[in-house]
Homo-oligomer: A and B are copies of this chain.
C-alpha cells in the first residue's frame, strides 16, 4: 500500500528500450564470473531480493547477481564487463526510493554486501576506515563502545550499507546537527568500469589533506554511475550522552519559521532535529492508525524538536528555556517536553508513522523536495487549491530545519487525471520557487524525465562529460540519472 505511488515510475520506464550496444551475458561470461568470485557467488536463481528494490516498484531481470568479496574481485568483474560491454548495476543495501539500485532490463547486479571485512577505527582521531558492504547500524554498534557513532541515521539503518549511503549522499534525521556526508567523507576506494578495472584510492584518512583534487566528493550522490565504491574513510562523531525531545503547537507557518530561529539561538550546537507535521497529518495518523496526538490542543502545525548533547542537565535547561521563550513570545500555543524515553518515543512515533498512515489511507503521490523556507508550505497550499476536489487528503510532513518537505497527496486510487494535474506542475512550481525536486532521495529512474529542470545545458553537458570520463563505455547503471 505504502509504495503504490512509486509504481508509476516503473510503469513509465518500462517503455525505455534495452540498449542494443550492451552484450547479452553468455555461459562463457558466467564461467569467468565464477572464476573471479567463486561458483556460489554467481547467482542466477533465488535472486528476487536483488531484482527489485525495497519499494518493489522498480526492477528488471538481471542475467546474474555477482557477489564479489574484495576490491580486486570487483576490478576483475568490471574489466571483463568493460571488454564485453556488459551493463552492470552496483547495489548495496538496496533501500533506495527512486529505483536507482536495480536493473531495468538484463543488467548484471554487482552487490557489495560481501565486501564487509575490513574495519579500522582510530579512536584518537575518530576516523573510521571500512569496507563498503557494512550495514549502517552494524557500524554504529561497532563504534558505540568507543563512545562514537556514525554521523548519519536513516529509517533504513538496519539494512542500508555505507557504500550506498555515500553513493546516494543519504540525508536522514541527524543532518541538521552533523551536516551532510560531505562534512565527514575523507577517502574512498573505487573501481572504475574500464578495461583495466582501474582501482583508485582517492582522498585519505586525514581531516585535512590538500594534496590533490578532492575527488571522493564527486562520488557523493553519483548514484552508482561513476564507479563502484568498495571502501570508505569517514569521520565518526562522539555519541551524545543526552538526547531530549519536545513538541510544540504553532498556529501559523510564519511562527514555525520563528520557532526555528529561536531554536537555532537557544539550542544552537545541540539542536539535532526540527521536524514538521501539519494538522492533516495528525488527523490521518489518528484515522488510519489510531495514533493520538501528544498535543491535545489541535494546533495548525506540530513541531518536533530534538537535541543531542554531552550534558543532560545543561541540555534539559536549554530546552526548558527555549520552550518557555516560545510560549512567552506567543510563537507557540502549546509545548511539551518529553520527561522519559517513552514520552520521547511517543513523539517520534507520530513523525515516523506519517508515511505509513498516508499509505494506509489510499493511493499516495509522494514528494521529496527542498524549498526556501518562505515557500515551504506554499507548495502544499497551492496543490490544495489546485486539486483538493480530486483527492482524499493532502498532507505535509518533513525536515523543516533542512527545508525538506514531504508533500503527500492521497487519493482513493490511482488516477491518470490526478497524476497529470500534479506532474509536472509540482516539479515546475518547485523549480520556479528556487527549490530542488530531489532533496535526499535522488533521481534514479523515478525523476529521470525531470532531472534537467532548472539545470542549464552547460551543467548537463559537464555532468555527461564527467560520466564519460569515469565510464567510457557507459556500462555502469544505465537508463538512470545522467
Listed in ascending order, the chain A residues whose CB lies under 8 Å from chain B are 122-126, 147, 168-169, 171, 175, 179-180, 182-185, 198-202, 204-215, 217-218, 220-222, 226, 238, 240-241, 257, 260-261, 264-270, 308-311, 314, 317-318, 370, 372-374, 399, 402-404, 434-443, 447, 451, 453-456, 458-459, 462-463, 465-466, 469, 481-482
Known: A182-B185, A217-B218, A269-B310. A200 touches B264 (CB 8 A): no
Chain B residue nearest to A241 in the complex (CB): B268
The answer to whether B451 and A207 touch across the interface, beta carbons within 8 angstroms, is: no
Known: A199-B458, A270-B269, A434-B205. A238 touches B221 (CB 8 A): no
Beta-carbon nearest neighbor of A465 in chain B:
B469
Q: Are B218 and A214 in contact (CB under 8 A)?
A: yes
In the complex, what's the smallest C-beta–C-beta distance from A459 to chain B, in angstroms? 6
> Chain A's interface: helix, strand, loop or mixed, by majority?
loop
Minimum Cβ distance to chain B for residue A197 (Å): 11
- Whether the Cβ atoms of B438 and A206 lie closer than 8 Å is no
CB-based contact B210/A438 at 8 Å: yes
Collect the chain B residues with CB atoms within 8 Å of residue A399's CB: 208
Query: Can you list 8 A-B contacts with CB-CB less than 8 angstroms, sorted by A residue number?
Result: A124-B257, A208-B440, A209-B436, A210-B441, A212-B221, A213-B482, A265-B310, A268-B310
Q: What residues of B have a CB within 8 angstroms of the CB of A210 in the complex?
A: 168-169, 171, 221, 436, 438-443
Shortest CB–CB separation between residue A469 and chain B, in angstroms? 6
Given contacts A204-B436, A264-B126, A314-B318, contact A215 B185 (CB under 8 A): no
Tallying the copies of this chain within the complex gives: 2
* Nearest residue, chain B, Cβ from A307: B269
Q: A213 to chain B: which residues have CB within 8 Å?
A: 218, 221-222, 226, 463, 466, 482
> How many angstroms from the CA of A261 to the CA of B182 in the assembled complex?
24
Residue in B closest to A436 when the chains form the complex, CB atoms: B209
A142: min CB distance to chain B, Å = 18
Q: Which of B180, B215, B458 contacts A462 (CB under 8 A)?
A: B215
The CB with the most chain B CB atoms within 10 A, among A180, A241, A451, A455, is that of A180
Residues of B within 8 A of A466 (CB): 213, 215, 466, 469
**Are B182 and A214 within 8 A (Cβ)?**
yes
B124 and A439: CB pair below 8 A? no
CA distance A210 to B404 in the complex (A): 12
Knowing A182-B185, A314-B318, the reply to whether A451 touches B126 (Cβ < 8 A) is no
Q: Is the CB of A439 within 8 A of B212?
A: no
- Which chain B residues border A168 with CB–CB below 8 Å? 210
Residues on B with C-beta less than 8 A from A309 are 268-269
Chain B residues near A441: list those with CB within 8 A.
Answer: 210
In the complex with contacts A200-B458, A201-B459, A438-B211 CB distance below 8 A: yes
Enumerate chain B residues within 8 angstroms of A318, measured Cβ to Cβ.
310-311, 314
Q: Who on chain B is nearest to A225 by CB?
A: B213
- Would you call B200 and A122 a contact (CB within 8 A)? no
User: How near does chain B come to A21, taking the closest CB pair, in angstroms?
Assistant: 23
A212 x B451 contact (CB < 8 A): yes
Nearest CB of B to A347, in Å: 22
